[in-house]
Amino acid sequence: MSRSVPATDRVVATLNLLAEHPGEFFGLSKIAGTLGLNKATAHAMLGTLVDGDYLVRHPVDKTYSLGPALVGLGHAAVSSTVKLAALARPLMDELSTAVDAHCLATTLLGEEIVVIAVAGAPPNAGGLPLGYRSRLAPPDGVIFAAWAAQPRIERWLERLPSPAKDREQGRTLLQVVRARGFSVSGDVGPEQQLDDILQRLPDKCAQVQERAIALENAVLALAREDQELLTIEPSSRYHVRQISTPVFDATGAVRLSLTLTMLGDVTGSRLLDLATALRAASTALTVSIGGTRPEVQDPRTESSILTPGVPRNL
């Protein structure tokens, strides 16, 4: 995981706050209160950003908004993204042909996930179009959150529907994705899932109520939307929506995500083969842009949650 620097985190949080409200001006008190900063720290930071034209200060009410220097940065970022997409396309074309699957490349623009390249024809004329945008919020964007600095992780977790319960599950999910190096969204095949649940139901008549509750939970589980698969058994079958892997830049941050989508019903063994192929393409692209893959910080986490069949050194 990338290590955060408090001063940098404050600057990033300020720019993100104002970017979420384009055209609006925020006062010192509101910025400091929203970000949990003391006013002296916020005032010094805002002054520096104004001096660099990253923010502008209203001459009358002394409020702040985004400045003109960010326009140049935005153009540079778009140019960089176009170049990155051009580098990714040959690898994506080769991969989609080899595994017969639709492939997407996505990156982050602010708090949005944007599709910047596509390869391979999606089944049934589906798939996401070039330029498609979605908000960086669970369950989307787990690849970008897994290796992010702590403030971005917290913002991602805050967008879960029930923060108290789901945040711990969200942290576990991020640990799994970091350790095995890929995210896979889908569910266990309905027949296998129901069979597993029925086998765990109590047999005694005295536990009728418990059986009823378990059956109700089984129905709810079968109706649930696609979710991250935390464990993958080679002999089981899964309905897979997508597999995603990270492409890292020189700082070890996730610059891009490569994704195989609309995979349908596959065995766990096939799923792991697809993940291996996708990780190889992501690693090649990481190398081509001079990136570096950060190490998993907690070896106990890595050894305990690596998915069976996935080599550690991928």
Residue ranges of the domains in the chain?
6-67, 78-305
Per-residue confidence at 3, pLDDT binned at 50, 70, 90? low
As a whole number, mean pLDDT of residues 16-43 equals 88
Per-residue confidence at 195, pLDDT binned at 50, 70, 90? low
Map tokens 């391979």 to a residue.
120
Residue 9 has pLDDT above 90, yes or no: no
pLDDT tens-digit map of 98-143: 998 899 999 988 788 989 899 987 655 566 788 888 888 887 899 9
Which SS3 state, helix, strand or coil, does residue 4 take?
coil
| Residue among 144, 147, 79, 152 nearest 116 (CA) | 79
pTM to 2 decimal places: 0.64
Strand order in the sheet with 227-228: 133-135, 112-119, 102-109, 254-267, 237-248, 183-188, 227-228
pLDDT tens-digit map of 197-255: 555 555 544 455 565 655 555 554 444 444 788 888 999 988 888 999 999 999 899 99
Task: Look at 163 and 253; give whichever has higher pLDDT.
Answer: 253
The CATH code that applies to domain 6-67 is 1.10.10.10
The matching CATH number, chosen from 3.40.190.10, 3.30.70.980, 3.30.450.40, 1.10.3720.10, for 78-305 is 3.30.450.40
H helices of the chain, where? Answer: 6-19, 28-35, 39-51, 69-99, 142-146, 150-158, 163-180, 190-199, 208-223, 268-288, 299-305
In this structure, what token pair is assigned to residue 152?
């971005």
Which SS3 state, helix, strand or coil, does residue 265 take?
strand
pLDDT at 184: 92
